[in-house]
Amino acid sequence: MSLDPNDAERIVTYLNAQLQAVWIRARDASRRLGRGAIPLKSRQAIAPVTYSLEGQVGDNAGAPGRLRFEIQLDPPQLDVVCGHTAVFKLNVVKACFTLADSGSEEVIPKSEITFKMGYQMKDGVIAAKRWKRFHLDYPNARLVHMYPPVARGQETFELHLRRYLSFLHSGKHSTLFCPVASSNESRSCTIDFTRSAKSPPAALSVHGVAVADINSCLRRSWLVASTMPKFEDEKAVDNTKLSLRMWKSKTMIEGKDVQYEITLGAPELSAQLSTDLKTARVHPSGSSAIGRWPYS
């Protein structure tokens, strides 16, 4: 029974334990396979550990020697960041693929590749026990982070990774289960993934606009504010015109009026989710302050 009123952390921990168990089962199955062509069902069973475009039986993903792709993986990691978005990280041991233009082979060393995807969580009953079923939208996953970056053939590599996720989906690896927190029907448990999630990788765009372009615009606006005088015609300039560079105001502390002035460096925006949350970082007097607010 979960004692935490927010059951999100327990659920994510259980799902990751399930992914680990599936990976171990796939690893053991791959060790039992012999050489030669591997049937489709066996390839689906071992896909969490190893996947290849060559030597296939029963599907049409590509002809051997033409679009070679092979990947070996450690157990993946899952984090649920809100009520509709999950972050899925592939821990690649080694990958190699053929470049489409030159036909040469590119080898990817140990790396971390992170996707964001939607998911659905539904209640169900299995063997008279209440469970939550999680269905991850692997086919529509979006690549958000790759470390280290691929030097050559990144588009080809991304295409192979998307096909790999779709293959995992075809093998039903995109559906996970977690038991409910308590058998007490009268006891409800809050599930708030936003409070338990680790910070997801920064998104590269917000509503289709590149974060780099937004930050470039912010820097230009800050430079304009930095060149503006504090006084015009011996009158103080409206604070809102200078707000990207400085802010002056007053407050009351222990019954006394206190005036203050903050000088700011160029702001920087980091989008955590491409539609839901943004983070702005400013630098007052050499220190750093971070603020978050939802989109309106």
Q: pLDDT in tens for each of the 296 residues of the chain?
A: 445 566 788 888 889 999 999 999 999 999 888 666 788 899 999 999 999 875 343 344 444 445 689 999 999 999 988 878 899 999 999 999 988 777 788 898 899 999 999 999 888 887 778 888 899 999 999 998 888 888 888 888 999 999 999 999 999 999 999 887 664 544 456 776 765 556 555 566 677 778 788 888 888 888 888 787 766 665 666 667 677 777 777 888 888 888 877 888 888 776 655 554 444 444 443 333 333 333 32
> What pairs with residue 259 in β-bridges?
250
CB 125 within 8 A of CB 180: no
CA–CA dist 130, 69 (Å, integer): 41
What pLDDT, on the 0 to 100 scale, is given for residue 62?
42
Burial class (CB in 10 A: 0-12, 13-18, 19+), 51: buried
- Supply the Cα-derived Rg of the chain in whole angstroms: 25
What pLDDT, on the 0 to 100 scale, is given for residue 162?
93
What pLDDT, on the 0 to 100 scale, is given for residue 98?
86
Residue with tokens 């996720």: 165
Task: Tell me how far CA of residue 97 lies from CA of 45, 147, 187, in angstroms.
Answer: 22, 17, 52
Phi/psi-derived region of residue 127, left when phi > 0, alpha when psi is between -120 and 50, beta in every other case: left
CA–CA dist 137, 120 (Å, integer): 8
Enumerate residues 6+ apart whose C-beta is below 8 A from 245.
222, 225, 226, 228, 263, 264
Q: How far is CA 142 from the centre of its chain?
A: 8
Name which of 267, 269, 263, 268 is nearest 284 in CA terms: 263
Task: Tell me how far CA of residue 215 lies from CA of 2, 23, 177, 204, 270, in angstroms.
Answer: 43, 41, 41, 12, 9
CA–CA dist 210, 217 (Å, integer): 11
Enumerate residues 6+ apart whose C-beta is below 8 A from 6.
189, 190, 191, 192, 195, 196
> What pairs with residue 87 in β-bridges?
79, 116
pTM to 2 decimal places? 0.64
Residue 221 has phi, psi (to 5 degrees) of: -65, -40
SS3 141: coil
CA–CA dist 270, 200 (Å, integer): 11
Q: How far is CA 130 from the centre of its chain?
A: 29
What pLDDT, on the 0 to 100 scale, is given for residue 109?
86
Task: Tell me how far CA of residue 228 lies from CA of 138, 237, 282, 283, in angstroms.
Answer: 50, 9, 19, 19
Name which of 84, 110, 88, 283 is nearest 201 in CA terms: 88
